Amino acid sequence: METRAELEISLRQFCRLLLADWLFGDEIARVAASKLPVEGPISNMRVRAFSDLLSLWRDAHENKVPPRPFTDASLMKSLGPPPPDDQTAVLLFDVMEFDTREIATILSADAASAMQMVTNGRAQYASKADGTIVIVEDEPAIALDLQMIAEGLGANVLAIAANAEDGASQILKHKPDAVLLDFNLDGARTGLDVFNDIRDDHDCTVIFVTAFPKELLTGEGSEPDIVITKPYSELCMRAVVAHALSVPQSEVLND
């Protein structure tokens, strides 16, 4: 049975993924979570919560009445429209592991259409990754695999590092659009150390791969933008890299 906390983590993971940004993602996840029932069982709410999230976002975007500044409606409208349904379906299926029946409910479609959306979305992502990436991964075979996935999508892999020191150095040297970080690295320091080393000096989409995703989806301050659970499938990684490199990055006010 899924608890409220687990559902909120799941919403946070998905929203960060959709926006390729932890801050924007956490804000929209917070709005979606505020619509969950205050009391009563939370099990079997996952599909409804994801459906409500996309409905809220769509409604805010389509509302012609300018929202009052600093309200949640203003926040959601400023994000622009949600991603196209085909791409959302891929992220729900390949990354969030919903089945086609659930995706059909979330996207208000029938199951056959949902599977077609997934197929269409994968095709749309196939050569969409127009950007640069640095990979930090200590297993050479996995690093090579990730490189092939990224380059197959059209991304330019600027460097591969096996340990935290080299990882941070390569990221700050190359300033890539995205970073693919594994938690386990050569040496005593982890991918989380790399994230902490670079986050103030280079603003890019951080894709973090870990066996313990909940620890990086707390919603308490600066965390990786996209958190992928280990082990992951090739389809999952393809969807994540393609999406991360296709989302226009917004500016964040740092005052």
Instruction: Provide the binding-site residues for another protein, judged by CB under 8 A.
Output: 23-24, 27, 31, 34, 56, 59-60, 66, 68-78, 222, 252-255
Give min distance, CB of 179 to another protein, in A: 18
Nearer to another protein, 69 or 231 (CB): 69
- Where are any strands of DSSP class E within 76-155? 132-136
d(CA 219, CA 26): 6
Give min distance, CB of 198 to another protein, in A: 15
- For 13-50, b/e burial (b = at least 16 CB within 10 A) is bbbbbbbbbbebbbbbbbbbbeebeeeeebeebbbebb
d(CA 250, CA 178): 14
Nearer to another protein, 145 or 203 (CB): 203
Locus of tokens 């933008």:
225
Nearer to another protein, 167 or 224 (CB): 224
The answer to whether residues 49 and 7 touch, using CB atoms and an 8 Å cutoff, is: yes
Give min distance, CB of 33 to another protein, in A: 11
113's enclosing H/E stretch is helix 111-125
Nearer to another protein, 72 or 138 (CB): 72
Q: Give me the residues paired with residue 229 across strands.
A: 210
Give min distance, CB of 89 to another protein, in A: 24
The answer to whether residues 211 and 183 touch, using CB atoms and an 8 Å cutoff, is: yes
Give min distance, CB of 36 to another protein, in A: 13
Nearer to another protein, 25 or 121 (CB): 25
Give min distance, CB of 56 to another protein, in A: 6
106 exposure class (CB count in 10 Å sphere: 0-12, 13-18, 19+): buried
Nearer to another protein, 64 or 68 (CB): 68
